[in-house]
């Protein structure tokens, strides 16, 4: 009878939900989903970030009889963090602007940005949700002067605020502020640096890519003598253009003028130019990605001669794989989101099961969490009333190891009473592995070495487990 049961288990394996990369994380919320309703009406989540402690912070606008900004804090498992605000929720009446960005400092203080491009405010909150009066003017910073417009800001490694936008002459500007909100007079000319790129220039929002050494790359669309061009510009930590990048600090992206491009940066300095435009005929986004070496040459090993059609990555993981979110929009503003993962050369990573949002979303962000798992955070589209805050979490392993296939890999006995012999070609360096149960709980971690590794699962219950190493997955059956 036992043997027949094992045969049945093997037949059912393709249909059983292992904690494989891409599948919903059932330990989060209610089977991978958290839905929050503030006022039984319309709750639009526009921004999300995660603190070093694991706390997830979502911010946006709730609409009923009045307009109110909201900030909500969740614990890692999706439950409310009641130490924040009023049992996890902070509401403030507002009559202008929308929250478009939230960033969390190393000390867990929350930086929030809201307003219009030419009337913008940055606010800092303490971890409990109270205003941090030591920041700016009693907790508020107005970073713009007359004629300036804001496009994006990021927190640097020192938790300084780096902001970019345009001045009254349409020149591109960078501004930097200290942790307390004062202008950083050691940056540029009393805290501001101005550049003229072409006769006119346009900078897409949320488009600053910071690197570990403090340098950063920005995508800019310029018009020069009537010719529209997308460029990538690299700046050093001090805000000066880095002449070692591309040609005099600039890489010109060879795409049609309809495209708008933004960068993603690999650890070795390679840059992805992520380009897209809305095709009014097909009523879809046309997308292309091009990979460049730091010297500006196209990486011909990527995709097809350096180009990958139909994809624009969202995030580059620690192991340099590319997380991609396909967003399919309808005319009412709804978007269906499907996650996939690519190798650094643009090929599909088959160890990641293509996953999708369970809802048609309105506003939505994709965030790589501290654990490596993926969070889609936003709100459902307005025509699926009422509009609520929706968080969806998916399994993902961002192990920072190089991809070397395990050759001639075999496991025996399998099924086993507890000891599994793992045979493989000789491994020069130790290769990490982990074993999880069918819920995704990590049972054991270790390293494969030499030509054989013995796994001891004698202490765990009978059942099915998943061995993962180098993003290869193998099923283990414990009798």
What's the rounded Cα separation, in Å, for the pair 366 and 101? 13
What are the angstrom distances between the C-alpha of 294 and each of 43, 266, 290?
Answer: 43, 10, 13
- The DSSP 8-state label assigned to residue 7 in this structure reads H
What are the angstrom distances between the C-alpha of 12 and each of 9, 21, 398, 413, 463?
Answer: 5, 19, 28, 20, 13
**What is residue 186's predicted lDDT score, i.e. its pLDDT?**
94
**What is residue 261's predicted lDDT score, i.e. its pLDDT?**
94
203, pLDDT greater than 80 = no
**What is residue 399's predicted lDDT score, i.e. its pLDDT?**
67
230, pLDDT greater than 60 = yes
Domain 2-12+403-478 has CATH 2.60.40.3080: yes
User: Could you tell me the pLDDT band of residue 97, with boundaries at 50, 70 and 90?
Assistant: confident
**What is residue 341's predicted lDDT score, i.e. its pLDDT?**
92
**What is residue 207's predicted lDDT score, i.e. its pLDDT?**
80
What's the rounded Cα separation, in Å, for the pair 430 and 428? 7
First vs last C-alpha separation in the chain = 13
Report the side by side order of strands in the sheet with 161-166.
149-155, 161-166, 172-177, 192-195
Q: What would the mean pLDDT of 47-51 be, rounded to a whole number?
A: 98
User: Could you tell me the pLDDT band of residue 1, with boundaries at 50, 70 and 90?
Assistant: very low
13, pLDDT greater than 60 = no
Q: What is the CATH number of domain 143-310?
A: 2.120.10.10
The backbone torsions φ and ψ at residue 248, rounded to the nearest 5 degrees and listed phi first, read 55, 35
Could you tell me the sign of the dihedral formed by the alpha carbons of 306, 308, 311, 317, in that order? negative
- Render pLDDT for 416-431 as a digit per residue (tens, 0 to 9): 999 988 887 655 456 7
Based on the number of CB atoms within 10 Å of its own CB, is 388 exposed (0-12), middle (13-18) or buried (19 or more)? Answer: buried
What's the rounded Cα separation, in Å, for the pair 410 and 97? 59
Please state, as a whole number, how many other Cβ atoms lie within 10 Å of the Cβ of residue 14.
6
**What is residue 348's predicted lDDT score, i.e. its pLDDT?**
85
* Percent of the chain scoring above 90 in pLDDT: 62
145, pLDDT greater than 80 = yes
Please give the model's pTM, rounded to 2 decimal places. 0.80
For residues 316 and 151, which has the higher predicted lDDT (pLDDT)?
A: 316
Task: Give which of 247, 251, 161, 274 is closest to 210, Cα–Cα.
Answer: 161
**What is residue 433's predicted lDDT score, i.e. its pLDDT?**
82
Could you tell me the sign of the dihedral formed by the alpha carbons of 185, 190, 196, 202, in that order? positive
81, pLDDT greater than 80 = yes
Start-end ranges of CATH 2.120.10.10 in the chain? Answer: 143-310
Task: Give which of 336, 295, 302 is closest to 322, Cα–Cα.
Answer: 302
User: Could you tell me the pLDDT band of residue 263, with boundaries at 50, 70 and 90?
Assistant: very high
Task: Give which of 120, 215, 133 is closest to 181, Cα–Cα.
Answer: 133
340, pLDDT greater than 80 = yes
Start-end ranges of CATH 2.60.40.3080 in the chain? Answer: 2-12+403-478
Q: What would the mean pLDDT of 344-348 be, rounded to a whole number?
A: 89
- Render pLDDT for 391-408 as a digit per residue (tens, 0 to 9): 999 999 876 444 445 566
**What is residue 11's predicted lDDT score, i.e. its pLDDT?**
38
Strands 271-279 and 284-292 turn out to be antiparallel
């Amino acid at each position: 009878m036992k043997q027949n049961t094992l045969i049945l288990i093997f037949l059912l394996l393709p249909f059983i939900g292992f904690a494989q990369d891409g599948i919903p994380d059932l330990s989060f919320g209610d089977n991978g989903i958290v839905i929050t309703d503030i006022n039984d009406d319309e709750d639009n989540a526009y921004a999300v970030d995660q603190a070093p402690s694991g706390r997830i912070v979502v911010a946006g606008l709730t609409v009923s009889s009045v307009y109110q900004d909201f900030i909500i804090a969740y614990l890692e498992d999706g439950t409310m963090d009641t130490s924040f605000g009023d049992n996890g929720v902070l509401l403030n009446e507002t009559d202008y602007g929308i929250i478009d960005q939230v960033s969390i400092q190393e000390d867990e203080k929350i930086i929030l940005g809201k307003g219009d491009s030419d009337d913008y405010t940055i606010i800092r909150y303490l971890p409990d949700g109270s205003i941090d009066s030591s920041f700016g003017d009693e907790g508020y910073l107005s970073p713009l002067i007359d004629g300036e417009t804001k496009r994006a800001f990021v927190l640097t490694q020192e938790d300084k605020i780096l902001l970019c936008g345009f001045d009254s002459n349409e020149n591109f500007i960078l501004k930097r502020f200290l942790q307390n909100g004062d202008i950083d007079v050691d940056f540029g000319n009393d805290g501001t640096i101005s550049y003229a790129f072409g006769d006119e220039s346009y900078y897409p929002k949320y488009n600053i890519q910071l690197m570990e050494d403090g340098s950063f790359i920005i995508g800019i669309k310029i018009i020069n003598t009537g010719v529209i061009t997308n460029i990538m510009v690299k700046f050093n930590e001090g805000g000066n253009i880095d002449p070692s990048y591309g040609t005099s600090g600039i890489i010109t992206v060879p795409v049609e003028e309809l495209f708008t491009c933004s960068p993603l940066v690999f650890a070795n300095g390679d840059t992805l130019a992520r380009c897209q435009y809305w095709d009014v005929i097909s009523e879809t986004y046309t997308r292309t990605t091009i990979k460049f070496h730091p010297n500006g040459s196209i990486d011909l090993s990527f995709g097809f001669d350096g180009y990958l059609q139909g994809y624009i990555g969202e995030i580059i993981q620690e192991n340099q794989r590319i997380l991609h979110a396909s967003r399919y929009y309808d005319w009412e503003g709804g978007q269906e989101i499907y996650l996939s993962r690519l190798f650094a050369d643009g090929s599909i990573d088959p160890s990641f099961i293509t996953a999708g949002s369970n809802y048609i979303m309105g506003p939505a962000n994709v965030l790589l969490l501290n654990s490596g798992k993926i969070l889609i955070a936003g709100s459902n589209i307005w025509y699926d009333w009422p509009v609520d805050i929706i968080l969806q979490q998916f399994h993902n392993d961002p192990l920072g190891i190089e991809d070397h296939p395990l050759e001639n890999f075999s496991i025996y006995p399998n099924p086993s009473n507890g000891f599994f012999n793992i045979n493989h070609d000789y491994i020069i360096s130790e290769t990490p592995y982990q074993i999880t149960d069918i819920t995704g709980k990590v049972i054991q971690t270790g390293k494969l070495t030499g030509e054989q590794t013995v796994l001891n699962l004698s202490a765990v219950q009978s059942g099915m487990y998943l061995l993962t190493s180098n993003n290869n997955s193998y099923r283990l059956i414990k009798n």
